[in-house]
Amino acid sequence: MSSPYGLGASAARDRAALPRSDRFDAVDHCIAEWVERRPLPGNLRDAVRYAALGPGKRMRPRLVILSCEAVGGRCEDALIPAAAVELIHAFSLVHDDLPALDDDDLRRGRPTLHRRAGEAMAVLAGDAMLGLAVELVVRQMRPRTLAPAICEELILGCNDMIAGQVYDTLPEFDGAVPPIERLRLIHRNKTGALIRAACRMGALCGGAGEGELRAITGYGEAIGLMFQVVDDLLDVTQTTKHLGKTAGKDAEQNKLTFPAVVGLAASRAEVRRLQEASLALLEPLGETAAGLRELCEYLAVRTK
């Protein structure tokens, strides 16, 4: 049996479920506790809980924790940025689904937040999750001396993600820029920036040296692009039911995607190239980077 999007024999094992671990569950506890503790109107709290604690992959928090461990740090040192990056990610999904942007009804196999709680609440809950993420780091990051650097990474990643969304949905490209370059710019910002930030925050929490931070940054950039190429492939090869979000949306909206620009075979080859590049970047880190290696291999063959 081959992978549903043709990534070869290793994908025959459908690794749709990521390995569970108490240290990843701790991220949800951290978000839940923060959202419970922070004074908020009850309906806003419910909306934030629905969006931030729904059945997603928690890939960005995993990257924070595994990057911290890859440079010799401990999971608990990375929990606050791990929770913060998931709040930013959840904000981006809620706003991305709004009628003014993607206008989607389904997210994580459930109604989108604006379908459930109305458009005004979805806008405000997205805004709130952005604020809650920054406030969480400012108030709870330990050691406190790391808070400015973590905030900087988080907000740079968030702002680049928003820029990427503009390149994707409201572009103002010079006609001379070839589609593949536009596409790389969109993916690097829209999806890659927050993934890169997740990796860098984890490395900073683990006390990475210069060389380690460079390796983890390169890894984050490579898997950020790989993640989105796989996402582009899944959009054309999977069903809405399996994905838990509307499939075929990119083609319907005439989006620039890897399959649309270079075709399916070259997109699959790009995934393999990026997977190999990511793994090569981890080599100098040795055994402590085993978790990042495993995550990279899963992300290359994921089916949702």
Report how far residue 232's alpha carbon sits from residue 211's, in angstroms, rounded to the nearest whole number: 32
Q: Which of 31, 64, 67, 96 binds ligand GRG (CB under 6 A)?
A: 96
Stretch that binds ligand GRG, among 26-34, 36-44, 89-97, 284-292 (CB under 6 A): 89-97
Could you tell me the CA-to-CA distances from 164 to 74, 167, 189, 190 in Å, in that order?
A: 32, 5, 4, 4
92/237 with CB nearer ligand GRG: 92
73/259 with CB nearer ligand GRG: 259
Report how far residue 192's alpha carbon sits from residue 227's, in angstroms, rounded to the nearest whole number: 8
Stretch that binds ligand GRG, among 5-13, 33-41, 93-101, 262-270 (CB under 6 A): 93-101
DSSP-assigned beta bridge partners for residue 145: none
Burial letters 240-256, b for 16+ CB under 10 A, else e = eeebbbbbebbeeeebb
Please say whether the beta carbons of 69 and 288 come within 8 A: yes
51/208 with CB nearer ligand GRG: 51
- Residue 231 is a binding residue for ligand GRG (CB under 6 A): yes
Give the SS3 label for residue 107.
strand
Distance of closest approach, residue 190 Cβ to ligand GRG, in angstroms: 5
Q: Which of 26, 51, 56, 247 binds ligand GRG (CB under 6 A)?
A: 56
34/167 with CB nearer ligand GRG: 167
Q: Which of 23, 188, 190, 196 binds ligand GRG (CB under 6 A)?
A: 190
The helix (H) or strand (E) run that includes residue 168 is helix 147-169
What is the rounded radius of gyration, in angstroms, for the C-alpha atoms of the chain? 18
Q: Which of 15, 45, 49, 57 binds ligand GRG (CB under 6 A)?
A: 57
69/96 with CB nearer ligand GRG: 96
255/273 with CB nearer ligand GRG: 255
DSSP-assigned beta bridge partners for residue 111: 106
Q: DSSP of 25-70, one letter per residue?
A: HHHHHHHHHHHHHS---HHHHHHHHHHHSSS---HHHHHHHHHHHH
Of residues 242-281, those binding ligand GRG (CB under 6 A) = none
Using CB under 6 A, list all residues that contact ligand GRG.
56-57, 59, 92-93, 95-96, 101, 108, 161-162, 165, 190-191, 228, 231
